Amino acid sequence: MSLEQQLHEGIVALGLDRSAGVDAAAEGRLMAYLRLMVKWNRTYNLTAIRDEAEMVSHHLLDSLTLAPYVQGLDALADVGSGAGLPGIPLALVFPELKITSIETVTKKVAFQQQAKIELKLANFTVLSARVEKTQGQFAAVTSRAFAELADFVNWSGHLLRPEGRLLAMKGVYPEEEIARLPRGWQVTESHELKVPGLVAQRHLIVIKKI
């Protein structure tokens, strides 16, 4: 199976061709991002995953499982985004969603800036900064295997609007981390995420200030 076919079948399996209108043009942009990531990864070690088919499942499709939970929002921050995950895939399929990516590692910031230029991502901004020192007000703040939930809340909570949500992408259900959440914050939703081509557990933990 080609990488393009793998991506297409994964998008269909997630229902994003219908619910989010992810079409052939969007799939082409996602593949262009993947090729750029593969190219940079040879020199800059952006991600430990080297196999391109694994990149489709573990990076592109894994990021796109967040799509139903951010669709319709106007502004999203992506914290500790590394090579731009999940922010860049989401920016590619939701051009109306303004995404701010916050990353501290210089080479990863440089890659994201290049991706913004090459992919013409007008709705995507990269900040080279620590999240706790970043200002802004967002409808949601997401992280993908970034930190323990308590740290995510303490470092990122100030970026949320009053009704905003923290969207933490995790592996196994983080029961012990949830128990350590700071006072005044609680999990309002949790969703098991099914990633096509990936057998490992994935969960989305939605956290709000109460």
Q: Dump pLDDT digits (tens) for 198-210.
A: 999 999 999 999 9
Task: Give the model's confidence band at 145: pLDDT under 50 very low, under 70 low, under 90 confident, else very high.
Answer: confident
What are the tens digits of pLDDT across the range 54-64?
A: 999 999 999 99
CATH code of the domain occupying 3-209: 3.40.50.150
Task: Domain ranges for the chain, please list them.
Answer: 3-209
Number of neighbouring beta carbons within 10 Å of residue 1: 11
103 contacts: CB under 8 Å, gap ≥ 6: 80, 81, 82, 109, 112, 126, 127, 128
Task: Give the model's confidence band at 48: pLDDT under 50 very low, under 70 low, under 90 confident, else very high.
Answer: confident
Q: What are 140's strand-pairing partners?
A: 76, 165
